[in-house]
Amino acid sequence: MCKDNYHLCFRQLPQTVMPADLPDKFTYPLQYEPHPVAVMAAHDLQQTILTTCDLEHNFGITDDGLETGNSGLGKMFGVLIVITKENQIGYLAGYSGKLGERNDHPNFVPPIVDLLHPESFYRKEEALISEINREVENIETDDKFIESRLKLTKTIQAVEEELSQERAKLKRLKAHRKNIRTKAEMNLPESEFRQLCEQLKTESLEQQHEYKKLALNLKQQINDLEATIAPKEDRISRLKTERKERSAALQQKIFDSFSFLNFEGETRSLTDIFVKSLQKTAPAGAGECAAPKLLQYAFAHSMKPVALAEFWWGCSPESEIRKHGHFYPACRGKCGPILAHMLKGLQVDENPLNHCTTGKRDIQIIFEDEWIAVINKPPGLLTVPGKEDHESLYSIIKEMFPKATGPLCVHRLDMATSGIVLIAKTESVAVFLQKQFIDRKVEKRYVALLDGMITEDSGIVKLPLRVDIDNRPHQLVCYQYGKPAVTRWKVAERSNNKTRVTLFPVTGRTHQLRVHMAHQHGLNTAIVGDDLYGQPAERLYLHAEYIRFTHPHKRKLVTFTSEPDF
């Protein structure tokens, strides 16, 4: 880890780079195509990792980038092109989190806060929390304690069963006495009837007394058993409460200890940065990603950041989509607010998504009557307005159909996806059509071009999806909290190391087709131009080409198609 002499972290580029070769503005970190100089630096770092750098970490890949099938963990690396105060052009290298249980590997920028140092507050508090965990485990795994808990559980079950039987017996006896009274009332003289009622009442009171006596005796057995384990149960409860409080306090102390410089020399804490964000509180791990670490080091040593690139190195994780050697933008949830502060005062590229809308002239009407319209949406156009005030299909068709009273867009396509969108002109028509989507009676077909060769001819992908709360709008594969997502697929053509597939979504989750194509347990091949789950291109090669539904007025099935332009 380079602390004192910053030149230990400064790396020479493999080729001479002149100031004219550098970009005019810094990389917009949340959506970008890496600058050629940053790509050069990334390739140089990758070669270093392969040949000369012992990072003591199992990336789960062979030297040629193939996954080994053994347990491994890929990591995000970053390179930052900088100009030093001596006007040297080179780059800094960093990685997210830790590698091989270390965060102090030579020639990489250090962490902003060294939580892994043996004398750090984190290590000391972690040791105390670990001791609490061990004590809880020792109590919970003690043979006598387990035996006592089991005996208590069985006793409670036996007592409940016995008392249940006694209550049922009392209920039968009560019914029997009622039957006796009913018959006696009709057949006995009044004085004898009253005498009988008193006798039956006495029996009832005696039986209730015996039941209460039994219940007290049985519950005393439970109390006695509970008393034998109560001290240990109380100890476990106190330990778990202490652990929860210590963990929360430790997390807050971590947040408070992180502070970030920016280009203008200002410093703000992690807590202060996030309190003014949409999240309000920082997520765990915020500040430990490659991009903030690289910028922090550059600002602390009077280096000017010029360009940034981050790439994944190693096997794919189970939940999110990360491909070995591919470039990725910084995460929006953890890094977005931090980088917004750190880049203040630096000239930064605009968000390219701000220029990804298409004008009204590109909207094609496939079909229209007084109830519906079927539209061919171009790529790069939002279906409905987002948080930013961008042009959308909704805003365009409002002008196209000024007399329409319905919510118009019955369903959505991703901004990057082209193809058929169904429009309802009245609210009642929208309700009728939306019910067909909910009941999965609408048939849809998509065509996609995949960035690789698929050997199988057809199949089904079943991967449950949920939103990545730290990196919206990305989706994660999650078997615990994800919603079911099913896609049928069939190969249409193979050529030029690309595969054209036809997709039949059974469900309609956000980014379903894109994730199901790119994920390692799906087809493991991203759609061409998928800048979220694959590699960017001039467009996303995904098109909604077919729809079949029941017409809201004719009550007959209608079919519409739209051929893709790729």
- Stated as kind and residue range, the H or E segment containing 330 is none
- Spatial neighbors of 544 by CB under 8 A, at least 6 apart, are 377, 413, 417, 418, 419, 420, 421, 444, 445, 446, 562
Beta bridge partners of 261: 267
Catalytic residues: 414
Q: How many beta carbons lie within 10 A of that of residue 423, not counting itself?
A: 27
At residue 2, φ and ψ (nearest 5 deg) are: -100, 110
Of 37, 63, 34, 57, the closest CA to residue 108 belongs to 57
Q: How many CA atoms lie within 13 A of 460 on its CB side?
A: 7
| For residue 473, cis peptide bond before it (omega within 30 degrees of 0) | yes
- The CA-atom distances, in angstroms, between 471 and each of 331, 361, 514 are 5, 33, 16
Q: Per the structure block, which two tokens stand in for 33?
A: 């195509």
Interhelix angle 143-187/190-257, nearest 10 degrees:
150
- The CA-atom distances, in angstroms, between 393 and each of 28, 351, 376, 410 are 26, 20, 10, 12
Distance separating alpha carbons of residues 178 and 164, to the nearest angstrom = 21
Distance separating alpha carbons of residues 45 and 38, to the nearest angstrom = 10
- Spatial neighbors of 465 by CB under 8 A, at least 6 apart, are 475, 476, 477, 478, 482, 483, 485, 509, 510, 511, 512, 515
